[in-house]
């Protein structure tokens, strides 16, 4: 065993912390870029995330093999790996955009293969760093659990910091390209520091590097196959809960982008401090103490599962009084208890010798494989078939049964085993029997928050792997906790129906219509019954909305209307896969501009894509949800733009609203065959003509200060009035 200066250990720990920060920042940015290319439907998301996990798993295996090489300069290898990650990061977004030209719109399996090909090099390098550095640390400390615990702590804590700082500062302030440059700069800093320390004189000679620390005589090590199973089970349970927590926090926040970052940040912070806890439990490894460590693993896993089971009900109670962000410590606590098991598993199964890195690489791969399986099974399979409460019961039963099994096998005596069995039976029975009470009205509480009234219930809740759709007694429909409209086609009861009724105001012959995002189907039903419309193509990402349509008479006829063709897909992905389709109008009742992935439908890139699917004189008509930036983007991409309330109509041809044409076409026949009251068009509608780059009114032109102020004045100008 070699010795080292304490100051150098502190430097290594700090550098591994800094290494975790850019790794997670890369992942956030790269996943966002890949989702923009391949879509945010659940199939594409699953494949992209799996590609990242596969790369990390293969990297851990490769790092373990490298660590076994006699005399390998592990610190130098670690520094070079960080340098190559930085180089790839700097060219990554350009590479992604270049590959997009050839691969966008591919099938889910092809998406996964392409995504893995794009991120294979950096993720393999990232996955290799833990076993490489852990091997070096074990050589100097002689204790596997403490080495893995401290390295796992600092690296995961850096990743957790990246989640919070990335969502709160880096991405909003620097954008995707700036965030990548920040991450690359940190990688270069880590590489320079580690290589400097290595070349200053902390290099180990080949003989010393290959030297094995003698294993204490009679040490009872757990069988490695048992450790493989425990590592996989730990990853499976913890990632399964993380998927459930993300679904819940996305719902309670209305799918705000920061919800994912906050949940992941709290989850990683919990893992970090759980690893620190396990480090304190690994101070000794004396003969015959393996059963003690296994019982510790079982108890930590048991308490972690119980906290994980009650996290969602506690969140539903808390959000009536505080913001959801204050409940994130619940996630950190549960994740920390479950995550503390991995370093302990390493401690009882890996001897502190030159083969430690290789064994750690296999255990890490097993842990990642279990994590991938958990996220796939829960996020892709179970959420399509089971409710939230059923999934929670399933997870807590697996956790309790596995923990009790360990206590039965490694129990100190017959009395302790009987007690463990009895406690396990009681906990399982209570979990099943109490789930109905714990999860009763949980979605109502999460959505209504302070406005929730005891006993209040939604008339419908549809849960799919694509999201949660709810309907209240007023027939208002919500997607993942955010308002989506009403299941009503009568303009006298739902005034927003006037917007799809305004097709003839903007277009002389709106015969073929594409609707991206059907929601509850009200607007699609109105559009399909428009007297000038011949065909309606609908692209909806969540099949749960179709289930809702079947249950309500106002929109049920839509599903059997011969004019209507419905596809379940991501809107951008569908357009890419159908380049030959052209429409008179593309209608998008776009979700709130502040929601996750909303920019996929509001960005300049998407508007350019939609432009290619318009016929000559065609109009893209979309909801900006009063976002000045979205309106300015639309007006800058297309030569002509007309604002109708929060909606913006854009076209390559001049848009000339015709009130009389609209009145002739639609004033006598509404969507249900009834007369409807005609809204009055604004006296001074806004018209943008890019040739002069000056906003003008169709009547009474006006002049204001130029530049950004002029653009914002255009964006917030008065819309429709009653």
pLDDT(334) > 90: yes
Residue 528's nearest CA partner among 542, 540, 511 is 511
The predicted model scores a pTM of 0.84
**What would the pLDDT profile of 350-372 be if each residue is shown by its tens digit?**
777 667 777 888 888 898 899 88
Residue 354's nearest CA partner among 60, 151, 127, 131 is 131
Per domain, the residue ranges of the chain are 1-210, 220-444, 494-715
Domains 1-210 and 220-444 share a fold: yes
Q: What is the mean pLDDT of residues 506-511?
A: 90
Q: Which helix (H) or strand (E) segment is 184 a member of? A: helix 171-197
pLDDT(191) > 50: yes
Residue 431 has a pLDDT of 92
Least confident piece of the model among 163-172, 330-339, 366-375, 679-688: 679-688
Q: Which CATH superfamily is domain 1-210 in?
A: MFS general substrate transporter like domains (1.20.1250.20)
Q: For residues 358 and 351, give the distance between their C-alpha atoms in angstroms, rounded to a whole number.
A: 11
Residue 685 has a pLDDT of 40
Q: For residues 151 and 153, give the distance between their C-alpha atoms in angstroms, rounded to a whole number.
A: 5
Q: What are the b/e assignments for 22-37, b being 16+ CB within 10 Å?
A: bbbbbbbbbbbbbbbb
Residue 414 CB-half CA count within 13 A: 0
CB 73 within 8 A of CB 133: no
Q: What is the mean pLDDT of residues 600-612?
A: 91
**What would the pLDDT profile of 123-163 be if each residue is shown by its tens digit?**
999 888 888 877 777 766 666 667 777 777 888 888 888 88
Fold held by 220-444: Growth Hormone; Chain: A; (1.20.1250)
Output the DSSP codes for 285-325.
--TT-HHHHHHHHHHHHHHHHHHHHHHHHHHHHHTTTS-GG
Q: For residues 293 and 341, give the distance between their C-alpha atoms in angstroms, rounded to a whole number.
A: 9
| Cβ-based burial of 210 (10 A; exposed 0-12, middle 13-18, buried ≥19) | middle
414: its two tokens: 């017959």
Residue 275 has a pLDDT of 82
For residue 168, give the DSSP letter. I
Alpha-carbon Rg for the chain in angstroms: 29
Q: For residues 24 and 20, give the distance between their C-alpha atoms in angstroms, rounded to a whole number.
A: 6
**What would the pLDDT profile of 291-321 be if each residue is shown by its tens digit?**
777 888 888 889 999 999 999 999 999 999 9
Q: What is the mean pLDDT of residues 413-426?
A: 87
What architecture (CATH level 2) is domain 494-715? 3-Layer(aba) Sandwich (3.40)
Output the DSSP codes for 37-57.
HH-SSHHHHHHHHHHHHHHHH
Output the DSSP codes for 648-660.
EEEESS-----HH
343: its two tokens: 């370093």
> What's the CA angle centered on 293, arms 287 and 297, to 5 degrees?
165
Residue 593 CB-half CA count within 13 A: 15
Q: Which helix (H) or strand (E) segment is 587 a member of? A: strand 583-588
């Amino acid at each position: 065993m070699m010795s080292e200066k304490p100051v150098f250990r502190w430097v290594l720990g700090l550098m591994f912390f800094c290494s975790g920060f850019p790794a997670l920042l890369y992942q956030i940015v790269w996943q966002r870029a890949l989702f923009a290319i391949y879509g945010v439907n659940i199939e594409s998301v699953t494949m992209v995330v799996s590609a990242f996990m596969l790369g990390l798993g293969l990297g851990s295996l490769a790092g373990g093999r490298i660590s076994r090489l006699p005399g390998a300069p592990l610190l130098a290898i670690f520094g070079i790996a960080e340098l190559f990650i930085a180089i790839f990061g700097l060219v990554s977004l350009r590479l992604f955009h270049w590959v997009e030209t050839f691969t966008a719109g591919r099938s889910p399996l092809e998406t996964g293969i392409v995504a893995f090909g794009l991120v294979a090099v950096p993720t393999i390098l990232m996955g290799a760093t833990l076993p490489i550095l852990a091997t070096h640390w074990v050589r100097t400390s002689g204790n596997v659990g403490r080495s893995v615990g401290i390295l796992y702590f600092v690296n995961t804590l850096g990743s957790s910091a990246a989640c919070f700082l990335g969502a709160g500062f880096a991405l909003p302030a620097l954008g995707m390209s700036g965030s990548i440059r920040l991450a690359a700069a940190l990688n270069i800093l880590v590489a320079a520091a580690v290589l400097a320390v290595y070349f200053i004189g902390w290099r180990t000679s080949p003989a010393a590097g290959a030297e094995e620390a003698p294993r204490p005589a009679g040490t009872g090590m757990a069988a490695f196959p048992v450790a493989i199973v425990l590592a996989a089970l730990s990853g499976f349970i913890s990632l399964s809960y993380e998927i459930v927590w993300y679904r819940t926090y996305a719902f309670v926040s209305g799918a705000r982008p920061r919800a994912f970052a906050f949940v992941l940040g709290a989850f990683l912070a919990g893992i970090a401090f759980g690893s620190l806890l396990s480090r304190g439990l690994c101070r000794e490894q004396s003969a015959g103490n393996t059963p003690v460590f296994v019982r510790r693993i079982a108890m930590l896993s048991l308490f972690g599962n119980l906290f994980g089971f009650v996290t969602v009900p506690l969140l539903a109670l808390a959000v009536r009084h505080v913001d959801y962000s204050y409940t994130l410590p619940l996630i950190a606590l549960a994740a920390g208890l479950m995550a503390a098991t991995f370093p302990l598993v390493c401690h009882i199964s890996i001897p502190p010798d030159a083969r430690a890195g290789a064994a750690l690489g296999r255990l890490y791969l097993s842990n990642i494989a279990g994590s991938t399986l958990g996220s796939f099974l829960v996020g892709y399979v179970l959420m399509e078939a089971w409710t939230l409460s059923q999934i929670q019961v399933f997870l807590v039963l697996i956790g309790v049964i596995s923990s009790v099994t360990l206590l039965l096998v490694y129990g100190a005596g017959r009395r302790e085993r009987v007690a463990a069995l009895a406690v396990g039976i009681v906990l399982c029975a209570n979990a099943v029997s109490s789930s109905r009470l714990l999860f009763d009205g949980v979605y109502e509480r999460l959505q209504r928050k302070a406005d929730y009234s005891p006993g209040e219930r939604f008339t419908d809740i549809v849960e799919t792997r694509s999201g949660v759709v709810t309907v209240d007694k007023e027939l208002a429909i919500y997607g993942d906790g955010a308002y989506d409209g009403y299941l009503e086609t009568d303009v006298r009861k739902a005034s927003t129906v006037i917007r799809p009724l305004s097709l003839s105001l903007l277009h002389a012959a709106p015969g073929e219509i594409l609707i991206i995002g059907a929601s509850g189907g009200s607007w699609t039903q109105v559009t399909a019954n428009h007297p000038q419309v011949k065909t309606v193509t609908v692209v909806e990402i969540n099949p749960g909305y179709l289930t809702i349509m079947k249950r309500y008479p106002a929109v049920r006829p839509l599903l059997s209307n011969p004019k209507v063709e419905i596809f379940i897909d991501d809107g951008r992905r569908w357009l890419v896969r159908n380049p030959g389709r052209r429409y008179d109008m593309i209608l998008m009742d776009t979700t709130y501009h502040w929601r996750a992935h909303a920019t996929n439908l509001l960005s300049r890139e998407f508007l350019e894509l939609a432009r290619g699917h318009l016929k000559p004189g065609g109009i893209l008509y979309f909801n900006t949800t009063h976002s000045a930036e979205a309106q300015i983007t639309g007006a800058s991409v297309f030569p002509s733009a007309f604002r109708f309330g929060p909606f913006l109509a854009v076209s390559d041809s001049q848009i000339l609203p015709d009130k009389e044409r609209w009145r002739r076409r639609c004033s006598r026949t509404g969507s249900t065959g009834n007369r409807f009251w005609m809204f009055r068009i604004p006296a001074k509608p806004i018209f943008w003509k890019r040739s002069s780059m000056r906003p003008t009114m169709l009547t009474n032109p006006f002049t204001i200060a130029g530049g950004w102020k002029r653009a914002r004045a255009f964006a917030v100008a008065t819309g429709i009035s009653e």
